[in-house]
């Protein structure tokens, strides 16, 4: 299993620089009726920081379970902008950070690298920003990949939680949707600090999603296919509790990919497959089942 893990680590590649080890810096605190929110900046390369938001249940007295929730930007997982108070209706059905902190978890999220990568000329809401960020990431770091960068930045979120005394470091999970599902899957499988993984409609099979885009694997995905490397390898080396929410891109083929993973028993309760088949975003009942899965394992 270690040999397989090393192959994936090598495939992800490495940056042309060392990421400075600096403590995260608190920027501001917000208090709400149901939880408290802390906003930080965290160094994620020599020239830039990622914005980190960590939500805490009220009246913490003992260390709590925590869930990393990667996505495009923190406000989406909250469902509102803490600076303006504006509700973000476009994300009102996937506010995992908000939902889980109200269930008693500490939750953390951050900006993805399409926002933080410094040579980008497009605005935050412009999808072309992804292509530009991926292009310049590759130019600056020819031995790295977009998935490698996403993994690196997400492990920094795990670092932030692991260094916080309010977090029970033996009970850290990860959950994400779409892009966030990709980030959750890779980080959950490769980072031993993560104890349970939930990923929603991220396309676990190569042909199900845009893995060949420059901000993910780009042309390197062809090398992985030639070497018969697929995501059942990653899942197998982790053997962790894993819940996949299928909807539009993931489907019954995804279940077959899960079943290929080594390290699990037949009908293993550590593997859960929820196929709502209603579109890309999960309905409330599917989210509830996935939240129940998290609760079972952390």
Mean pLDDT of the 180-205 span = 99
Question: Which pLDDT score, from 0 to 100, does residue 142 have?
Answer: 97
- Flag whether pLDDT at 124 surpasses 90: no
Quote the domain boundaries for residue 256.
2-297
Q: Report the share of the chain in percent with pLDDT over 90.
A: 92
If one compares 99 and 119, the residue with the highest pLDDT of the two is: 99
Question: Which pLDDT score, from 0 to 100, does residue 110 have?
Answer: 98
User: For the whole prediction, is pTM greater than 0.75?
Assistant: yes
Question: Which pLDDT score, from 0 to 100, does residue 270 have?
Answer: 98
Residue entry with tokens 């929110």: 37
Instruction: Give residue-wise pLDDT tens across range 38-59.
Output: 999 999 999 899 999 999 999 9
Distance CA(216)–CA(148), nearest Å, equals: 8
Nearest to 50 by CA among 105, 143, 118, 146: 118
- Flag whether pLDDT at 120 surpasses 80: no
Residue entry with tokens 């196929």: 275
pLDDT band at 123 (very low <50, low <70, confident <90, very high): confident
Question: Which pLDDT score, from 0 to 100, does residue 126 have?
Answer: 77
Question: Which pLDDT score, from 0 to 100, does residue 18 have?
Answer: 92
Average pLDDT, the chain: 96
Question: Which pLDDT score, from 0 to 100, does residue 65 have?
Answer: 99
**CATH number of residue 149's parent domain:** 3.40.50.1820
pLDDT band at 266 (very low <50, low <70, confident <90, very high): confident
Into how many domains does the chain fold?
A: 1
């Amino acid at each position: 299993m270690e040999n397989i893990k090393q192959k994936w680590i090598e495939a992800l590649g490495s940056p042309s620089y060392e990421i400075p080890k600096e403590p995260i810096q608190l920027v501001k605190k917000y208090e709400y009726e149901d939880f408290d929110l802390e906003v930080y900046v965290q160094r994620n390369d020599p020239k830039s920081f990622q914005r980190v938001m960590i939500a805490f249940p009220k009246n913490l007295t003992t260390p709590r379970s925590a869930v990393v929730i990667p996505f495009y930007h923190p406000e989406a997982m909250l469902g509102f902008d803490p600076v303006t108070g504006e509700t973000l209706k476009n994300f009102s059905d996937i506010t995992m950070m908000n939902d889980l902190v109200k269930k008693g978890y500490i939750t953390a999220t951050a900006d993805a690298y399409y926002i933080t990568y410094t040579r980008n000329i497009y605005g935050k809401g412009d999808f072309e920003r992804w292509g530009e960020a991926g292009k310049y990431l590759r130019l600056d770091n020819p031995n790295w990949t977009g998935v490698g960068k996403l993994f690196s930045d997400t492990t920094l979120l795990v670092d932030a939680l692991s260094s916080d005394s309010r977090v029970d470091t033996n009970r850290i999970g990860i959950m994400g949707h779409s892009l966030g599902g990709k980030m959750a899957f890779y980080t959950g499988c490769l980072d031993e600090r993560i104890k349970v993984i939930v990923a929603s409609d991220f396309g676990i099979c190569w042909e199900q999603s845009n893995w060949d885009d420059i901000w993910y694997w780009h042309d390197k995905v062809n090398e992985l296919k030639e070497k018969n490397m697929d995501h059942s390898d990653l899942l197998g080396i982790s053997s962790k509790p894993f819940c996949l929410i299928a909807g539009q891109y993931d489907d019954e083929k995804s279940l077959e990919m899960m079943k290929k993973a080594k390290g699990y028993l037949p009908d293993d309760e550590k593997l859960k497959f929820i196929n709502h088949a209603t579109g890309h975003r999960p309905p409330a009942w599917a989210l509830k089942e996935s939240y129940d899965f998290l609760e079972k394992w952390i």
